[in-house]
Amino acid sequence: MVRLLPLALLFACQPAEEDEAVPLPTVWGLETLPDQDPAEDVVEVNLVATEGQATIDGIASTLWGYNSQVPGPLLQARVGDTVRVNFANGLSEPTTVHWHGLRIDNAMDGVPALQEPVQPGDSFTYEFVVPDSGTFWYHPHVRGHEQVERGLQGAMVIHEEEPLAYDVERYFVLDDILLDEDNRLAGGFDPVGGMTAMHGRLGNTLLFNGQLDPLQAEVAAATRERWRVVNTANARTLSIDVADAAWQVIAVDGTLLTEPWPGVGPIRLEVGRRYDLEVIPEAGAELQVVVPTTTGDAAYPAFQGALVGDGESPDFLFTRGPAPMAMDDVEQELTLTLDAANGQYGVEFMINGLRYGEGDAIPVDVDTPTRIVIEETTGLEHPFHLHGQFFRLVSRDGGGPFVPGSLDTLLVDGGERVELYTDFSNPGRWMAHCHILEHAETGMMTEFDVR
């Protein structure tokens, strides 16, 4: 991971004594935020956002990070735990922290519509109970197109009450950033105008847990591993594949699947999406990131596992998870049209003909079977993200893959019509938006008022 120096941390981060709480499983790849509270059902951590200097390929560049790291440290808890995050803003501009994928109280969701952004030098305590296990991540929801690109992104795992007994767990944060000819983070964050407005800010450099080079470790024969993978890029859709190992997808967007998804890659990993993979090393184990180019797909190794030891490969551990939300008879139906128009300074994106802030929140009934139809009219892809709720994919008429399970993010292809199902089980005001951050910044966001 990239480390930023100097950074003035506003909290003294001292871990609780090891014998004061039952330790959480070790996750390889990122440092874990130390728990300040000895209670077994409370996780209290200190998190600071600030600026610093980082070296990229030998060249110093200004990045922003959480607790001196890009990506930020791993926040771990168990389902049902109370999580308390003492957050301090060391930036020169306001910010928040959004907990991507968590179905928590909307006052803690980290969006400016409900939380006054944390001003420079100020602090805020996020506190919530985590109802779902899975793989999640955190990032700002203020000027996210710039703040996330500068490095404000972090990993989060909510473990099951009785975690599956994998020999090793690993977390991979996949990102791309745009560097200039001097290998410094490129400027030009204005989301309006040019190709950035159309497709979002596409980077020219892949990062794997903040590193330019592939991550490396030994992988033991006759073992099973759980890999958690997230795409935190501003706009680039990635694909992932696994080589030299047997593998299967066991969770999507953090939720375990009813049945595993056979490992036949590459599989599409849209912005904000998470996959959990079960991996059994054979000749090793390599995570590959696949990026389309003008001459065909190019595969880049993100993780290279060197095989050690010997032994017969075991069967897969994961065979069946809990059923996703039941799809009952629909009682309310909504249509979201993803569209765009030329604004004063360039292309601006909208939902139902309105830029974010131009209309009221869409009222919906809580605990009500709901069909959401998304109609894409711009010819561009949009990763649709719904805060505070899960949904299921019912149908799609484009070329995209069918994705099973309970989701919070789905890539809608250009010109596509997608049908989703949700029960809106979590009351409150919740955002829905394109997770191409430049599209969201120019207006492709709306809100649901779940009453």
Give me the phi and psi of 106, to 5 degrees please: -70, -20
Which stretch of 97-106, 236-245, 319-328 has the lowest confidence by average pLDDT?
319-328
Q: Any idea which architecture 169-308 has in CATH?
A: Sandwich (2.60)
> For position 58, what pLDDT does the model report?
81
Q: How far is CA 50 from the centre of its chain?
A: 20
> For position 193, what pLDDT does the model report?
66
- Beta strand 205-208 with 255-262 is unpaired
Paired with 126 in beta bridges are 85
Name the CATH code of domain 2-163 (choices 2.40.50.180, 3.30.43.10, 3.40.50.300, 2.60.40.420): 2.60.40.420
Residue 407 structure tokens:
């989701």
Query: Is residue 149 left, alpha or beta, with left meaning phi > 0 and alpha meaning psi from -120 to 50?
Result: alpha
The answer to whether 229 and 191 have CB atoms below 8 angstroms apart is no
Tell me: pLDDT of 9 over 70: no
Which is nearest to 400 in space by CA: 384, 386, 387?
Answer: 384
> For position 19, what pLDDT does the model report?
41
Across the range 414-420, mean pLDDT stands at 96
What is Dmax (Cα atoms) for the chain? 65
**Average pLDDT across the chain, whole number:** 92
Helix, strand, coil distribution of the chain in percent, nearest 5: 5, 50, 45
Tell me: pLDDT of 411 over 90: yes
Which is nearest to 434 in space by CA: 396, 377, 395, 394?
Answer: 377
- pLDDT tens digits, one per residue of 375-404: 999 999 999 999 999 999 999 997 789 999
The pTM of the whole model exceeds 0.75: yes
DSSP 10-49: SS---PPPGGGSPPPPPEETSPBPPP----TTEEEEEEEE
Distance CA 223, CA 22 (A): 24
Tell me: pLDDT of 439 over 50: yes
DSSP 341-374: EE-SSSEEEEETTB-TTSSPPEEE-TT--EEEEE
Residue with more model confidence, 4 or 418: 418
In the block, tokens 């805020």 appear at: 124
Across the range 248-263, mean pLDDT stands at 94
Residue 273 structure tokens:
């999406």
Which is nearest to 411 in space by CA: 421, 398, 424, 423?
Answer: 398
Give me the phi and psi of 364, to 5 degrees please: -140, 160
Per CATH, 2-163 and 169-308 having the same topology is answered yes
Across the range 136-142, mean pLDDT stands at 97
Distance CA 15, CA 367 (A): 40
**In 3-state terms, what secondary structure has residue 145?**
helix
> For position 265, what pLDDT does the model report?
83
Tell me: pLDDT of 8 over 90: no
Tell me: pLDDT of 264 over 50: yes
- pLDDT tens digits, one per residue of 49-59: 999 988 888 88
Q: Decide yes or no: CATH 2.60.40.420 for domain 332-450.
A: yes
Q: How confident is the model at residue 6 (pLDDT cuts 50, 70, 90)?
A: very low
CA distances from 178 to 54, 65, 149, 181 (A): 15, 16, 8, 10
Q: How confident is the model at residue 433 (pLDDT cuts 50, 70, 90)?
A: very high
Q: How confident is the model at residue 26 (pLDDT cuts 50, 70, 90)?
A: confident
- pLDDT tens digits, one per residue of 280-312: 999 999 999 999 887 888 999 999 999 999 999
Paired with 217 in beta bridges are 305
In the block, tokens 């080589």 appear at: 243
Tell me: pLDDT of 345 over 80: no
Please give the helix or strand (H or E) that residue 268 lies within, else none. strand 267-269
3-state secondary structure string across 418-431: EEEEECCCCCEEEE
- pLDDT tens digits, one per residue of 145-202: 999 999 999 999 999 988 899 999 999 999 999 999 988 999 888 887 666 778 899 9
**In 3-state terms, what secondary structure has residue 85?**
strand
- Beta strand 347-351 with 332-342 is antiparallel
For the chain, the domains span 2-163, 169-308, 332-450
In the block, tokens 């400016």 appear at: 112
Residue with more model confidence, 128 or 163: 128
The answer to whether 270 and 409 have CB atoms below 8 angstroms apart is yes
